[in-house]
Chain A
Amino acid sequence: MSRTRTPVVDGWFAGDGDDFRLLGTRCSLCASVFFPREDAHCRNPACHGGDLAQIPLSRHGRIWSYTDSRYRPPSPYVTNPELPWEPYALIAVELAAERIVVLGQAAPGVTVAELTVGMEVEVVPGVLHEDAETTWTTWQWRPTGVTA
């Protein structure tokens, strides 16, 4: 039986393969960019508030910092308590064009040992977890192999 692929959060990312992008919004008046998306009000206090339109964020960025989670996080993070805990890396990535730092999980198999601050990474589609009916999708960061 095939599962439905559902984003863990609506409207934060879209696309497949090389077309996969994080989605933010941009204010039509002051050009401020928001991720997670702001759809109601521009948060720039000097802005009178323009329309907020969806934009894709840059695919590539550089590592601002990184860490990992050696212990099983609590709910609402979903894990299978029957299985041994497998640590995963978390990477905070600076996107130059948007001048923003976005946190995400590293792609499966990427460990902190192979990361450095300043390393180039790209955003890729990933699977957060699966249950009986649903494959919950997310974004992940993966080193491009190009070092700073």
Chain B
Amino acid sequence: MAADGGDGMTGEVAVLGAGMHPWGKWGHSFVEYGVTAAQAALADAGLDWRDIGSVVGADTVRGGYPGYVAGATFAKALGWQGARVTSVYAACASGAQAVNTARAQLLSGLADVVLVVGADAAPKGFFRPAGGDRQDDPDWLRFRVLGATNPTYFGLYARRRMAVHGDTPEDFAQVKVKNSAMGALNSHARYRKRVTAEEVAASAVVADPLRLLDICATSDGGAALVLSSMEFARRHGAPDPVRIRAVSTVTPRYPSTVLDLPDIATDSAVAVEPAAETFRASIARAAYEEAGIGPEDLSLAEVYDLSTALELQWYEDLGLCAEGEAAKLLREGATSHGGRIPVNVSGGLASFGEAVPAQAIAQVCELVRQLREEAGDRQVAGARVGITANQGLLGHGSAVIAVR
């Protein structure tokens, strides 16, 4: 993992700063969360906002006009200074798209140093689609025709795992137990109380077989990164920064045969044989190939635990274990703090709740803290390589690999 000096051969970019606004239900505008996170990232980088040549905003769909188009809203709130601006939206994958946009600008020489910001002020209760009578929108249709909320899809995946792999609700509960123990140590997490398996089992069923404490909440939060070229980092006095080595933004391949939120049906495989690899597995593989590493090289992983059962699915999709063996990996303690491959040492979405456009950026913030050995009680000893993974609505792959 030696730095190559940033001559572009590996296509790495430097992470100079990472910052967050704590997750919660604060009742403020997303702009406030984004600005707080941006200022924290700038301070962490030792840079003035006026040094930033480009700002990339991950859009929220809240606030009427989608996120007031986020990049410019953050730039205005920080004080107009003429930086190049980009705004991106890819649902849960918005943050990875923002990081990838910044990376592309840095690698192509369009900018030397880029600020990436995502923030959200989430509504109470279930996420719901935009209003109107919109029969051409699959997200609208699944609510109108089926009342299929996000948790019902999580329930379908969880039941499928139970039937195919023999996972149990007790296995799912142990994911929450593990993640809440880490969230209790994270000052940016919204839920900071350790949860027991008994408490999970006593919580209300939301979408059989999943209970309230199996499913992530929706939160307010903000996260930001300052990324730069390797050359800029060296000039800035950061010769050995955390580096982003890969960003995977792949789409599925036809036919996609796993029923995916918000779809009402899969693709049909009657005319074309599906690939052996699922979409989620392809997200990770693309990241590994770009980084020139494999799952055996990982020190830690931050995955999108929208539900406890989905965290287990990611273990297999990331290649941390063979298909069907995720619950065994969990039970062995391999994915706990101190285990062979700790997963969600930040506390995960279980402890944060999802702040959609901020979440994938927050995942990278955790990698940065860990790779710099600044994670305090949550520190993974000797962390050198980390991966984040998630999946944005309607087919947006998202994974980032960072190294030190």
Measured CB to CB, the residues of A under 8 A from B are: 8-10, 24, 27, 30-36, 43-46, 64-71, 73-79, 88, 90, 92, 97-105, 112, 116-118, 128, 138
Contacts and interface: CB of A to CB of B under 8 A. Distances in A.
Contact of A100 (B144, B164, B265): B265
Interface string B269-287: 1111000000000000000
Given A9-B135, A70-B205, A103-B264, A65 B156 contact: yes
B26 interface: no
Nearest to A7: B145
Given A9-B141, A36-B264, A67-B155, A98 B270 contact: yes
A119 B110 CA distance: 57
Given A97-B270, A100-B268, A103-B148, 18 more contacts: A9-B135, A10-B135, A31-B270, A32-B271, A33-B270, A43-B267, A44-B271, A44-B272, A66-B208, A67-B158, A68-B152, A74-B126, A90-B146, A99-B257, A100-B265, A100-B267, A100-B269, A117-B164
Interface string B242-269: 0000000000001101010001111111
Contacts of B265: 35-36, 100-103
Nearest to B145: A8
Contacts of B138: 36
15 contacts: A24-B268, A33-B270, A36-B264, A44-B255, A46-B272, A65-B156, A66-B156, A66-B208, A68-B207, A73-B147, A73-B148, A74-B149, A77-B144, A99-B270, A103-B263
B125 interface: yes
B140 interface: yes
Interface in B173-210: 204-210
Query: Contact size class for B?
Result: 35 or more
Interface of B: 125-126, 128-129, 131, 133, 135, 138, 140-149, 152, 155-160, 163-164, 204-210, 254-255, 257, 259, 263-272
A129 B263 CA distance: 22
Contacts of A90: 146, 148, 152, 155-156
Contacts of A92: 156, 259
Contact of A75 (B143, B156, B159, B210): B143
Contact of B152 (A67, A100, A101): A67
Interface centre among B152, B163, B254 (most CB of A within 10 A): B152
Nearest to B135: A9
B343 to A, nearest CB: 24
Contacts of A43: 254, 267
A97 B142 CA distance: 24
A93 to B, nearest CB: 9
A126 to B, nearest CB: 11
A7 B173 CA distance: 41
A74 B156 contact: no
Given A69-B147, A105-B146, A117 B208 contact: no
Contacts of B270: 31-33, 97-100
B145 A138 contact: yes
A77 B266 contact: no
Nearest to A101: B266
A98 B268 contact: yes
A79 B255 CA distance: 35
A75 B132 CA distance: 10
Closest 7 CB pairs of A and B: A67-B155, A73-B147, A117-B163, A77-B147, A99-B269, A74-B128, A65-B160
Contacts of A71: 126, 149, 206
A30 B133 CA distance: 33
Interface centre among A24, A34, A64 (most CB of B within 10 A): A64
A97 to B, nearest CB: 7
A76 B128 CA distance: 8
Given A30-B271, A31-B271, A35-B265, A68 B146 contact: no
B143 A64 contact: no
Contact of B149 (A8, A73, A98, A128): A73
B149 A32 contact: no
Contacts of A112: 208
Interface centre among B138, B257, B268, B270 (most CB of A within 10 A): B268
A97 B270 CA distance: 7
Contacts of B164: 117
Contacts of B255: 32, 44
A135 to B, nearest CB: 15
Contacts of B146: 77, 90, 103-105
Contacts of A70: 204-208
Nearest to A32: B271
A79 B147 CA distance: 10
A34 B271 CA distance: 11
Nearest to B258: A101
B208 A67 contact: yes
A54 B155 CA distance: 32
Interface centre among B141, B149, B271 (most CB of A within 10 A): B271
Nearest to A29: B271
A78 B204 CA distance: 23
